[in-house]
Amino acid sequence: MPDTEVSVRWPARYNTIPKDVFHRRDVYEAELSRIFYGPEWHPLAHVSEIPDKGDFKTLQIGEAPVLVVHGDDDKLRVFYNSCPHRGTQLQICARGHAKEIECPYHRWLFNLKGDLVGAPGLNEFSASFKKEDFGLRELRSGEFAGLVFATCSDQAPDLDEFLKGTKDYLTKALGGDGRLKLIGYQKTIYGTNWKEYGDNEGYHPPLLHRAFRLLKWQGGQGSNGVTEHGHKVMEAEVQRPQPGFLDDHSLVEFRDTSTPPRSIIVSFWPMTTIVKHMDVINVRYAFPLSPDDTEVHYAYFAHQDDSPELLQHRVRQASNLLGPSGFISLEDGAVFSRVHAGSRSLGTVAFQKGYADKPLQAPCFVAQNDEASNLIRWEHYRKSMGFARD
């Protein structure tokens, strides 16, 4: 991808971040190139969202449209959602089913492996035209626990390497064996920069989210860290909230007896987050729309072995607890946009809680209610962007 020179003055103090990286258009354009289209992997779909041969899902990596296809051979492939002929968007709905992929513009036809099967007027194409050169552009992809990842870059490490330090968390968060069933989506736009969206940490929950206090809901023991590739991982015991505040306390009950009541979060660099909290199984696919807007698709899942009662419980919790209008999560959305509005004041922000005035080394684990481990991500960001410290 073409890139231009971008310069940001980065403070010498390790825990300090310049605010202009949240607003500058030139920084954002460089982030698309160096991070989103650079050597990182992006979760795009769980196999349960496209369970049958011919099923597809459309999404974005950065601003680039991509298409995840469940092939006739049961392989999941990721293509750019763009005809290799003139660039026309191929599929327009969020999810669908197709036996083959046809571009509407000139009726070029592709099979589910992305091969060009036919194109009208082919005899009159240039002499150098070869069908095999005009298949759909496929991205490197891989799968773990049913979750499909792709990268735009040949320079990305193997997926196994990228996932280092996250696999145990991811397996547990995705129901243990990845045998999930899609139960729905919630989609919204937060008025914030993608990095502010991703900068949530362990310091804020008991302070920002009043629901925890009103439910007399204490946190349990847990771990909170960031891996070498900048992924946040968190696992904590979750105490049972006390009845009394809600008229319908069943909303905050644990009913899945197959797993211990724990909260598990894997927040992949650069964006998408997987959350298992109470009986909610949630993948939050996210992508930037601009320096000022971030779109998040909350996908919710049940386990294939759930009883009808547990399934209904998961649906109620998914609809009311942890989404953009969720009982214990709505305030996150409010803070995302308020942080973004406030950071137009220029200068710097600083991470304090858990920071001991010296650089941190990945993998880095801090106390559950600390925020300092986010600095590992910021260091990964700074290096990816090529910004030198003062």
Partner 1 sequence: MIDPIVLARVDALQMKYLSALDRRDLASWLDCFAAEAGYVCITRENHDAGLPVALMMDDTRARLKDRVKFVNEVWSGTFEDYATRHFVQRLDCKESGKDRYDVLTNFMVSYTNRRGGSEILVTGVYEDSMRIAGANAHFISKRAILDTVTTPRYLVYPV
The binding site for partner 1 (CB under 8 A) comprises 94-95, 182-191, 208, 210-211, 214, 245-248, 251, 295, 300, 315-316, 318-320, 323-325, 327, 330-331, 333-335, 337-338, 341
Distance between CA atoms of 365 and 381, rounded to whole angstroms? Answer: 19
Minimum CB distance to partner 1 smaller for 117 or for 289: 289
Give Cα separations from 255 to 141, 314, 359 (angstroms).
Answer: 35, 9, 42
Enter the tokens of residue 222.
Answer: 């847990």
Residue number with CB closer to partner 1 (230 or 291):
291
Supply φ then ψ for residue 259, to 5 degrees: -130, 150
Task: Report the C-alpha gap between 225 and 363 in whole angstroms.
Answer: 7
Q: How far is the CB of 43 from partner 1 (least distance, A)?
A: 19
Q: How far is the CB of 215 from partner 1 (least distance, A)?
A: 10
DSSP for 299-343? EEEEETT--HHHHHHHHHHHHHTSSTT-TTTHHHHHHHHHHHHHG
Nearer to partner 1, 84 or 175 (CB): 175
**Burial class (CB within 10 angstroms; exposed 0-12, middle 13-18, buried 19+) of 89:** middle
Tokens of 317: 């919790």
Could you tell me the smallest distance in angstroms from the CB atom of residue 243 to partner 1?
12
In the complex, the smallest distance separating the C-beta of residue 181 from partner 1, rounded to whole angstroms, is: 10
Output 102 or 331, the one with its CB closest to partner 1: 331
Q: Which is nearer to partner 1, 256 or 379 (CB)?
A: 256
**Closest approach of partner 1 to the CB of residue 241, in Å:** 13
Nearest Cα to Cα of residue 234 among 100, 368, 356, 131: 368
User: Which residue, among 123, 118, 96, has the nearest Cα to 108 in the 3D structure?
Assistant: 118
By beta-carbon proximity to partner 1, the closer residue of 176 and 191 is: 191
CB of 251 to partner 1, least distance (A): 7
CB 32 within 8 A of CB 63: yes
